[in-house]
Amino acid sequence: MKNNILKIAAIVVCICFYASATAQMKNTPTSQDQKVNNILSTAFSKIKSAGAVSFDATIVNKDPDKKEVNRQKVKVLLSGNKYRITIDDIVILCDDKAVYSIDNTTKEITVNSPSDSDMDIFNPAKLLQNRDKNFRSKLIREENTQFVVDLTPRKTQNFHKIRLLINKTSYQITKVEVYNYNSSRNECTISQYKTNAKVTDADFSYDAAKYKGYEVVDMR
């Protein structure tokens, strides 16, 4: 369950970058393609101009029968490719050089490189580098206050679809739904979204002195 929560939290971090991943498709667009690309381009431009961003997210896991089986509160702080995610006793730090997953319950720290293939979802830069290859986008419908957009991976992932709900006025991504192959679903609802957050490098830096006695597993 923990690994699943961490994976979904990573998707929450990257949703801002998913918008741009499909906003610059090189294929000749149809009118529907152009519409969804315009939506995603606008959402990305809003994000790009937002500076450092902080937000809360509620992650709900549902089984194939759509029954809630788990709920987690997540706090996220983003600045460029740097981020800090807090989930209960777990803190994930990325200073753009390494990713530190700190479990304060087990007192274990796992260190990965952002460019590690197993951690691609934590690396917005790599995602953007291959943006034309990552997703197909489709505008599913327009509701009263939001657009509903589906992103389908071009290559096999551990999920088959990501659904974005985007506010029509602010173009803020308010909800992300991740659909898994076993018919289970992970829903991430975003709240308390704040732009131009005040951050320092210390917010994303790993300080070994704070974690004396922790077991460190360096996977780099």
Write the pLDDT tens digit of every residue in 188-202: 888 888 888 899 999
Q: Per-residue pLDDT for 186 more than 50?
A: yes
Q: Per-residue pLDDT for 140 more than 80?
A: yes
Q: Find the mean pLDDT for residues 61-79.
A: 90
Is pLDDT larger for residue 220 or for residue 33? Answer: 220
Q: Find the mean pLDDT for residues 46-50.
A: 73
Which pLDDT belongs to residue 3? 55
Tell me the two tokens of residue 143. 């509701």
Range of the domain at 106: 2-218
Write the pLDDT tens digit of every residue in 78-125: 887 788 989 889 999 989 899 899 999 999 999 988 765 444 444 444
Backbone angles phi, psi at 59, to 5 degrees: -105, 120
d(CA 156, CA 85): 26
CATH of the domain at 144: 2.50.20.10
Which pLDDT belongs to residue 28? 46
Q: Find the mean pLDDT for residues 161-185.
A: 88
Which pLDDT belongs to residue 23? 45
Is pLDDT larger for residue 1 or for residue 209? Answer: 209
Residue 21: name the closest of 158, 128, 177 by CA: 128
Cβ atoms of 162 and 11 within 8 Å: the answer is yes
Tell me the two tokens of residue 212. 């004396």
Q: How many distinct structural domains can be found in the chain?
A: 1
User: Directed axis angle between helix 2-21 and helix 31-48, to 10°?
Assistant: 110
For the entire predicted model, the pTM comes to 0.75
Give the H/E segment covering residue 100.
Answer: strand 99-103
